[in-house]
Amino acid sequence: MNKCKYFALIIFTTLLMGVAFPVGKIGLSYAPPFFLMGIRFVLAGCLMALLTARKPQPRGGKMWLQAAAVGLFQSAGVMGCAYFSMRWISSGESSIITCTNPLLVIVLGTLLTGAVYKVRQWLGVVVGFIGVVFAFGLHMGFQPGTFIGFAGALSFAMATLLVKRWGPAFDMNVLAAYQMLAGGIALLVLSMFAEHPRFAFNEISVAVVLWLAVMGSIVQFSLWFYLLRTGDPGKTSAFLFLVPLFGVLSSWLMLGEKVGWSVGVGGAFICAGIFLVNWEGIRMAAHQIPYIDKISGNSYNE
């Protein structure tokens, strides 16, 4: 793949990831968060399952349970928390918190799996959490949405570690389909107990769901793994730091959300921290840093 095509696809894919936050917040005007995300992932999961029907399917109850567990952490935990947090914080702030996942992976990987990371990666963790302090600690008190957003980022990191352990046994496209479907079903069940499920049918609400399911899940997933297959996964993953940037900018353009200086500085620190963590992975052994696509649940190593 030539460099122009590569960078164009990278920009487009990370833009889709970032734009999903303000688009989802628009959708919250027509449906509660768990119900909206449940519809999104059930629709996307069903479509992906149809597209991957001829690929190797999970074998035995254990693999089906593993796919479901990934879905509970990945699709349900990550995006459920991200969109629920938008009741208290802006979509730009939610995108920043959610994308601290690569930093949390290092911390959890050290504590739970005994993984060893290099100084530059730990520097990335420190820089990233300084960014969190700037973004949220200097201009406002911590709100419920802040902690809910961090719960989503923590769920993101846990899903990363699970897929690193279980992923090699799956066809990743198939795992993507069933983890989205499992996560979507879990969100719909949660919505029945925690919300008053409703969906206001109109042109905007239908467009939001279709965008999130098709462009924000299936297209984004397909492009991201095309890039991973045809390029260097380590170099490609280093561009994930663009996601919170696009999340903040698209929230400003689409929703008119104000970007204060502390949020901007904090976001820059977080991006720098994630960049340090990811970029260092290019020279590391393949077992040291797992990463996960936030929509598909796929894991790849740096």
pLDDT tens column, 228-259 = 556 654 455 556 667 777 877 888 888 887 76
pTM for this prediction:
0.75
For residue 297, the model assigns a pLDDT of 42
List the domain range (segments joined by +) for residue 71.
Answer: 13-292
For residue 298, the model assigns a pLDDT of 44
Answer yes or no: are the C-beta atoms of 129 and 54 closer than 8 Å. Answer: no
Does 7 map to a domain?
no
Q: d(Cα 177, Cα 64) in Å, to the nearest integer? A: 12
For residue 39, the model assigns a pLDDT of 94
For residue 38, the model assigns a pLDDT of 93
Does 164 map to a domain?
yes
Query: How many domains, the chain?
Result: 1
What residues in the chain have per-residue pLDDT under 50?
139-140, 233-234, 280-302
Strands in 9-79 per DSSP E: none
CA–CA distances in Å: residue 267 to residues 102, 166, 180, 255? 14, 32, 28, 18
Does 24 map to a domain?
yes
Does 8 map to a domain?
no
Dump the DSSP string for 61-112.
Answer: HHHHHHHHHHHIIIIIIIIHHHHHHTTTS-HHHHHHHHTTHHHHHHHHIIII
Question: Which stretches of 167-232 are DSSP H helices?
Answer: 172-194, 203-210, 220-230
Q: How far is CA 135 from the centre of its chain?
A: 19
Backbone angles phi, psi at 116, to 5 degrees: -115, 130
**What letter does residue 239 receive in the DSSP assignment?**
G
For residue 209, the model assigns a pLDDT of 94
Does 138 map to a domain?
yes
**What letter does residue 293 receive in the DSSP assignment?**
-
Does 297 map to a domain?
no
Backbone angles phi, psi at 276, to 5 degrees: -60, -45
Does 1 map to a domain?
no
Does 198 map to a domain?
yes
